[in-house]
Amino acid sequence: MTFKALVLVVLLLTPATVAFSQTDRAADAAAIRAHIESIFQAFIDGDIEKIFATHSEDWRGLLEGTSTPIKGIDEYMRANGIEWPRSKDAPKNTPYYPEGTTYKVDDFDVHFYSTELAVASFLGEFRRNGLTLRRFRIMDVYAKRRGSWIQVASHTVVDPEWRAEQMAKPMTITPEMRQQILTTRDAVWKAWFTNDRAALEKLIPEEVIAINNDTEAWSDRAAVLAGAKSFAESGGKLVRLEFPKTEIQVYGNTVLVYTTYVYEIEVNGKRNTSSGRATEMFVRRGDTLVNVGWHMDSGK
């Protein structure tokens, strides 16, 4: 290769040439955006075959909720909660979102690194009745194979700003959620009265702060455990435990329980009934609720 030829090659590869090629890719950019939008629609429709077809066999990446990189289309499908491989009697379509859901793509940008490689970055969301159901920050990698663009990799996370907004709003409490909360609340009280140390250590974390109605001192975890032990050693037994009224608020992973209570205990053959009000705070950690604090009073 002559010196003049080498100079010509270098000039052809200068940033100015690359920048010019970016402006000459409108058709490819439109094709990639259309492909991305078809994936959004496929998830709305629960179109399993479409979801499979729009992702490469060697797909790589991370999705919201995955702790390790996803390798291959099979792992991708399962990471999205899709039975894979599909059984013969599995339903063809299983919508991810309720009827009437639409999608929206904002701040779309695609950059081409070659004639067969591009990276698209954008905000995408699912909407229904004017409300955003979920919003994502997404970076998709596209490759051109057999003349068509296909998604080969992605990094998809829930938009942290949108998540923060949702965490500050009260959640709708389903019957299943309410039952789990009430079951955990009951378990904490009963574990204390029976001095079930294993249950108490599981349900009450180190940072607990407790304000009881029979003492001015606030209790930490050690004091809570010591109180349960002292009650058991005194021969005390729980005879009756009721919660006449309970209201619940849930914000993200935080649960607030407002309740009235009545309990009856027996010590040395004598029975005593106590009643009052309590505000209890729980935090969800994984699939478990832990009781991080409470404030009790006599209600008088």
Residue-number span of the structural domain to which 55 is assigned: 3-166
Task: Categorize the per-residue pLDDT at 2 as very low, low, confident or very high, splitting at 50, 70 and 90.
Answer: low
**Residue whose tokens read 């053959």:** 269
CB 250 within 8 A of CB 173: yes
**136/267 same-domain check:** no
Backbone angles phi, psi at 84, to 5 degrees: -150, 130
Helix axes 175-193, 221-233, angle to 10 degrees: 60
Answer yes or no: do 118 and 135 share one domain: yes
pLDDT in tens, 11-53: 444 554 445 456 679 999 999 999 999 999 999 999 999 999 9
Residues 56 and 180 in one domain: no
Asked if residue 37 and residue 156 are part of one domain, the reply reads yes
Final residue in a domain of this structure, among 136, 166, 196:
166
Q: Based on the domain organization, do 215 and 111 belong to the same domain?
A: no
pLDDT at 21: 59
Residue 151 sits in the same domain as residue 46:
yes
Residue owning tokens 């979102």: 97
Per-residue pLDDT reduced to its tens digit, 221-263? 999 999 999 999 999 999 999 999 999 999 999 999 999 999 9
- Give the domain CATH number at 275: 3.10.450.50
pLDDT band at 285 (very low <50, low <70, confident <90, very high): very high
Residues 141 and 190 in one domain: no
Q: Are residues 13 and 135 in the same domain?
A: yes
Look at the chain and report how many structural domains it folds into: 2
Domain boundary among 166, 198, 228: 166
What are the start-end ranges of the H helices in 89-220? 160-167, 175-193, 197-203
Instruction: Check: CB of residue 255 under 8 Å from CB of residue 283.
Output: yes
* Two structure tokens written together for 153: 């990799």
Spatial distance between the Cα atoms of 168 and 18, rounded to a whole number of angstroms: 45
- Using the 3D structure, point to which of 166, 194, 226 is the last residue of a domain: 166
Contact 265, 232 (CB under 8 A): no
Residues 155 and 190 in one domain: no
Cα–Cα distances (Å) from 162 to 106, 157, 286, in that order, read: 14, 11, 21
Question: For residue range 140-162, what is the model confidence (pLDDT) as tens digits?
Answer: 999 999 999 999 999 999 999 99
**Same domain, yes or no: 150 and 236:** no
Do both 12 and 74 map to the same domain?
yes
Instruction: Check the CA dihedral 217-218-223-224 and report its sign.
Output: positive
195 to 74, 187, 254, 298: CA distances (angstroms): 48, 12, 26, 23
Same domain flag for 100 and 36: yes
Half-sphere exposure of 219 (CA within 13 A, CB side): 21
Residue 47 or residue 299, greater confidence: 47
Q: What is the mean pLDDT of the segment spanning 269-290?
A: 95
Handedness of CA 77, 83, 86, 92 (dihedral sign): negative
